[in-house]
């Protein structure tokens, strides 16, 4: 029996359409982690302060802890689990490895999704833009200098493509 506080929604998650029943107060982050066991999207602050929960919603980056799942009926969601193409890493994932742009890795899924979202936005032109537009993704290990190199390289590659 479905509860009155639940809503039926359809989400396309990492390429697969899913019919879901969610409690109206469930954040998109909790839906993914707790209901669907997609734990690659991390929970840091749960208050929009750290960016660990960043994913792509219809191609745009979003803090999934700050939004309710029911608000996104019909949307397309890409989490870190859906970024690679089968066994082939996404160029941004590869660049994080090549530049050693992480230590504990907790912020990394969010940093990767945010980098891809940043490229899609097409607003970052300078190093300062990158620092500014990535400032919502906190790295407690302080891997910022290498993360910035990754983002810079990813932007250059996207401009050449
Ligand atoms: S967990 Fe969402 S911004 Fe920190
Ligand atoms: S690599 Fe540890 S928080 Fe960023």
- pTM for the model stands at 0.95
Say which CATH number the domain at 67 has: 3.10.20.30
Q: Give me the numbers of helices (H) and strands (E) for the chain, helices first please.
A: 5, 5
Look at residue 1 and tell me if it is in a domain.
no
Q: What is the pLDDT of residues 25-64, one digit of tens each?
A: 999 999 999 999 999 999 999 999 999 999 999 999 999 9
- Does the CB atom of residue 154 touch ligand 2 within 6 A? no
Residue nearest to atom 4 of ligand 2 (CA): 139
- Does the CB atom of residue 101 touch ligand 2 within 6 A? no
How many domains is the chain partitioned into structurally? Answer: 2
Q: Closest ligand 2 atom to the C-alpha of 141?
A: 2
pLDDT band at 148 (very low <50, low <70, confident <90, very high): very high
Task: Say yes or no: 95 and 148 in one domain.
Answer: yes
Look at residue 116 and tell me if it is in a domain.
yes
Tell me the residue range of the domain where 52 lies. Answer: 6-82
Please tell me the predicted confidence (pLDDT) of residue 161.
75
Q: Where a domain ends, among 47, 82, 117?
A: 82
What pairing do the DSSP bridges indicate for beta strands 60-63 and 54-57?
Answer: antiparallel
Task: Say yes or no: 126 and 106 in one domain.
Answer: yes
Q: Residue 64: which of 6, 117, 20 has the closest Cα?
A: 117
Task: Say yes or no: 78 and 102 in one domain.
Answer: no
Task: Say yes or no: 106 and 136 in one domain.
Answer: yes
Look at residue 128 and tell me if it is in a domain.
yes
Question: Is the per-residue pLDDT at 2 higher than 70?
Answer: no
Please tell me the predicted confidence (pLDDT) of residue 160.
83
Task: Say yes or no: 100 and 148 in one domain.
Answer: yes
């Amino acid at each position: 029996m479905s509860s009155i506080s639940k809503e039926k929604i359809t989400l396309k998650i990492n390429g697969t359409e899913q019919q879901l029943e969610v409690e109206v107060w469930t954040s998109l982050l909790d839906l993914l982690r707790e209901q669907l066991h997609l734990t690659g999207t991390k929970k840091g602050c749960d208050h929009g302060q750290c960016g660990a929960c960043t994913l792509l919603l219809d191609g745009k980056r979003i803090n999934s802890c700050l939004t309710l799942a029911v608000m996104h009926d019909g949307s397309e969601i890409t989490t870190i689990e859906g970024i690679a193409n089968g066994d082939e890493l996404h160029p941004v994932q590869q660049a994080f490895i090549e530049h050693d742009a992480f230590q504990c890795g907790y912020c990394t899924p969010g940093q990767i999704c945010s980098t891809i979202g940043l490229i899609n936005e097409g607003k970052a032109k300078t190093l300062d833009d990158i620092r500014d537009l990535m400032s919502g993704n906190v790295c407690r290990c302080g891997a910022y200098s290498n993360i910035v190199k990754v983002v810079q390289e990813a932007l250059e590659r996207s401009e050449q493509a």
